Amino acid sequence: MENSRSIEARRLCALAPIIPVLVVHDVAHARPLAEALVRGGLPVLEVTLRTPAALEVIAEMAKVEGGYAGAGTLVTADDVAAAVKAGAQFGVSPGATDALLDATEAADLPMLPGAATASEAMALLARGYDVQKFFPAEASGGVGALKGIGGPLPQITFCPTGGINPDNAQSYLSQPNVICAGGSWVAPNDLITAGKWDEIEALARAASQLGQPS
């Protein structure tokens, strides 16, 4: 039985083929970065909770028209509470525990929980999550693993993340059980630090066309 948080996660994942996975160190970069990515056609933004500025970055990005700012690297219930307080519109986790899912469900936070094995995927499915993050994608067997899992579990749709790049993204997106992919290449740290928003917009625009028929 699907739950409302997974239904909303599916809607967000369907908005663009790539979800930028963002590591932002300076809150001053938050809005121009989000605006560049949204202009480029990537409206769903995952801000990883890996920097001291991350929660402030989420709060700023959530104000950008046309964008959806979410919190990545959710691991604990405290992470969920902090993300929701910052204005996160969805959550992403590298894996899933009952405590983490209980917290996201109590907060009614749309959630893309992580799984790397058939057992993990089945456990999430049993809680109503039929859209899941496949992580770490390349290290967990890549496209071949997704094909293998898709055979017995065709009802689960994945957003592979981890090792996705412009060279292999198309092969992931062509799989019937892949709705989108997470990638960090659209917002490299050197371009963020230099404030080269036009170049980031161009990377986003190219990524937004991935998965389209040639």
Could you give the residue numbers annotated as active site?
46, 133
CA atoms within 13 A on the CB side of 59: 10
Nearest to 102 by CA among 73, 72, 81: 81
Nearest to 20 by CA among 197, 212, 188: 188
Report how far residue 160's alpha carbon sits from residue 79's, in angstroms, rounded to the nearest whole number: 22
**What Å distances lie between residue 61 and 76, 89, 139, 186, CA to CA?**
22, 10, 30, 16
Provide the 3-class DSSP secondary structure of residue 18: strand
**What Å distances lie between residue 153 and 148, 175, 194, CA to CA?**
9, 13, 44
Report how far residue 63's alpha carbon sits from residue 182's, in angstroms, rounded to the nearest whole number: 22
DSSP assignment of 101-158: HHHHHHTT--EE-EE-SHHHHHHHHHTT--EEEETTTTTTTHHHHHHHHHTT-TT-EE
Task: Enumerate the β-bridge partners of residue 134.
Answer: 115, 160
